């Protein structure tokens, strides 16, 4: 735990980065204007420079109150620390994956699938009441088969309620027509009504300016309807999750449920300041929505993890003053975050921004005293991905890559050694040095569970009080060579053998 002086020194160090961050925004604005493109910087490029500076300063100041909590990571019922590397499977309406694909993914160390589920597929028809909801049983059965297929291949699963622009009516998908209110789409993207959109816009109509649709009045208002329980929409969304949780409660490889992927702030232009003011939307709209929805899950399933995310314009999750359901569920909830910043112009600055973004996100979880999980990051740049995952190692963060199976299998950055489980009272160091190809693990050993490492290459190692024994293919178990009463700390260094 940091002292007050330590917290102050940490803040001073971060405060010095503000000028660099503002400089970056200015440089990127110039680059994009030169290229004739509309300037966008991550998720906040549309906000004026003055407000960007305000957001940065406020969010950095928030870090002062977050620096005193201990690390949090996923811990199994037997108190084994677990780390996951995996892949997002976001295909609509239902993902498909073969056993061959799962075997190939396991060979690069993946042990987790984050699978999208969709509101419109489970409850396609408008219910007459909350007590009279017709569920698509075929969809549930097909989903169950995928989960069981994953289990057969030793993969854990997180189910995430996914959407893109909510509805087919808005060039997206995920929510049923009966849950959507359409009034003037695509205003304000097209204020003059010159563009005529079909009820379900075609491919050409949707390709005109996809990113701008996110801030249309209809998309934003329908997110607000979801959060505010307009026409009992929150209740029906809770029933959607309750039915899935009831179906999956006996599936041991299902870790939990991510309540809503990529939640938006609401009607951006009508509620501009609540969208950009740090923490307002999370505190006033999104957290009450999460509490209501999770209560439906907890009626039928109390042991699995509920994951929750911040809205997109609040990029460090401020406003989440606590976890969703209080102290009773701290070990059964997790803060799920995304890292989205990429740059072809300023790679080194991009890696620094990713580090500080991750640092803030980790501390949001620490503030709520829940584990954290890097749910989405994408791209194919080996350098940026390697640096990002080095940071994930440093923070002992589990992650799932967002990209195709073929992309994941080709990327060397994703194929890295790590501890899939650590039988430890405390982990001091868990880090892969990708430049020198050296992995270091230091932890305080405890008995009655196993420490398992994934090693993607032929290796040499050094450990004064332990040996490695093959557990399964590229999985190796750490075994102590002396009594645990004599020595409780394990230090192991593993390096790749040169061919």
Contacts of 169 (CB under 8 A, 6+ apart): 177, 180, 182, 185, 199, 200, 201, 218
Residue 495 is inside which H or E element, if any? strand 489-496
**Regions of the chain with pLDDT less than 70:** 1-72, 191-194, 315-317, 342-345, 484-487, 499
Pick left, alpha or beta for residue 62 (phi over 0 → left; psi -120 to 50 → alpha; otherwise beta): alpha
* C-alpha span between 152 and 253 (Å, rounded): 10
Residue reference for tokens 């209080």: 326
Q: What is the pLDDT of residue 11?
A: 41
- Domain 78-414 adopts which CATH fold? TIM Barrel (3.20.20)
* C-alpha span between 184 and 178 (Å, rounded): 17
From first CA to last CA, the distance across the chain in angstroms is 44
Residue of 85, 111, 110, 108 whose CA lies nearest to 457: 108
Distances (CA, A) of 215 to 189, 340, 434, 476: 8, 18, 40, 49
| Neighbour tally for 293: CB within 10 Å | 25
Structural domain boundaries in the chain: 1-68, 78-414, 417-499
Q: What is the pLDDT of residue 86?
A: 98
Residue 89 contacts residue 312 (beta carbons within 8 Å): no
Q: What is the pLDDT of residue 77?
A: 74
The sign one gets for the Cα dihedral 198, 202, 208, 214 is positive
pLDDT in tens, 400-426: 999 999 999 999 999 999 999 999 988
- Domain 417-499 adopts which CATH fold? Immunoglobulin-like (2.60.40)
pLDDT in tens, 133-182: 999 999 999 999 999 999 999 999 999 999 999 999 999 999 999 999 99
* C-alpha span between 66 and 71 (Å, rounded): 12
Q: What is the pLDDT of residue 27?
A: 43
Residue of 389, 327, 334 whose CA lies nearest to 358: 389
Q: What is the DSSP string of 399-420?
A: EEE-S-HHHHHH-GGG---EEE
Residue 477 is inside which H or E element, if any? strand 475-480
| Neighbour tally for 141: CB within 10 Å | 10
Return the SS3 of 437.
Answer: coil
């Amino acid at each position: 735990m940091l002292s007050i002086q330590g917290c102050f020194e940490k803040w001073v160090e971060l405060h010095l980065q503000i000028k660099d961050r503002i400089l970056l925004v200015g440089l990127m604005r110039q680059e994009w204007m030169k290229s004739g493109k509309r300037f966008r910087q991550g998720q906040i490029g549309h906000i004026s420079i003055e407000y960007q500076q305000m957001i940065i300063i406020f969010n950095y100041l928030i870090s002062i109150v977050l620096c005193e909590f201990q690390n949090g990571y996923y811990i199994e019922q037997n108190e084994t620390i677990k780390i996951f590397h995996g892949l997002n499977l976001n295909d609509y309406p239902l993902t498909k994956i073969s056993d061959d694909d799962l075997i190939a993914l396991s060979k690069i160390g993946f042990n987790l699938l984050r699978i999208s589920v969709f509101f419109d597929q489970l409850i396609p028809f408008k219910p007459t009441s909350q007590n009279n909801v017709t569920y698509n049983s075929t969809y549930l059965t097909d989903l169950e088969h995928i989960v069981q297929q994953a289990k057969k291949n030793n993969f854990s699963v997180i189910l995430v309620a996914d959407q893109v622009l909510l509805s087919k009516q808005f060039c997206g998908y995920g929510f049923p027509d009966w849950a959507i209110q359409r009034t003037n789409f695509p205003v304000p993207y097209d204020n003059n009504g010159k563009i005529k959109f079909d009820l379900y816009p075609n491919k050409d109509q949707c390709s005109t300016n996809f990113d701008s649709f996110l801030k249309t009045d209809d998309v934003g208002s329908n997110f607000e309807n979801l959060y505010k329980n307009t026409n009992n929409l929150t209740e029906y969304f809770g029933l959607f999750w309750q039915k899935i949780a009831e179906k999956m409660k006996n599936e041991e490889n299902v870790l939990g449920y991510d309540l809503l992927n990529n939640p938006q702030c609401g009607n951006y232009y009508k509620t501009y300041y609540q969208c950009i003011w740090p923490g307002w939307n999370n505190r006033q709209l999104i957290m009450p929505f999460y509490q209501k929805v999770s209560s439906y899950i907890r009626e039928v399933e109390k042991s699995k993890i509920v994951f929750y995310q911040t809205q997109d314009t609040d990029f460090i999750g401020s406003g989440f003053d606590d976890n969703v359901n209080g102290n009773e569920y701290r070990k059964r909830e997790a803060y799920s975050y995304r890292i989205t910043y990429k740059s072809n112009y300023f790679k080194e600055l991009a890696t620094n921004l990713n580090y500080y973004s991750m640092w803030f996100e980790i501390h949001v979880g620490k503030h709520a005293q829940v584990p954290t999980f890097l749910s989405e990051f994408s791209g194919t740049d080996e350098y940026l991905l390697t640096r990002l995952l080095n940071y994930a190692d440093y923070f002992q963060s589990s992650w799932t890559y967002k990209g195709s199976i073929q992309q994941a299998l080709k990327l060397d950055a994703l194929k890295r050694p790590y501890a899939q489980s650590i039988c430890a009272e405390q982990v001091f160091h868990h880090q892969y040095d990708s430049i020198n190809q050296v992995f270091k693990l230091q932890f305080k050993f405890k008995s009655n569970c196993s420490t398992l490492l994934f090693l993607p290459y032929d290796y040499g190692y050094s450990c004064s009080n332990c040996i490695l024994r093959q557990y399964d293919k590229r999985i190796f178990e750490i075994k102590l060579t002396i009594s645990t009463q004599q020595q409780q700390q394990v230090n192991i260094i593993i390096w790749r053998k040169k061919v």
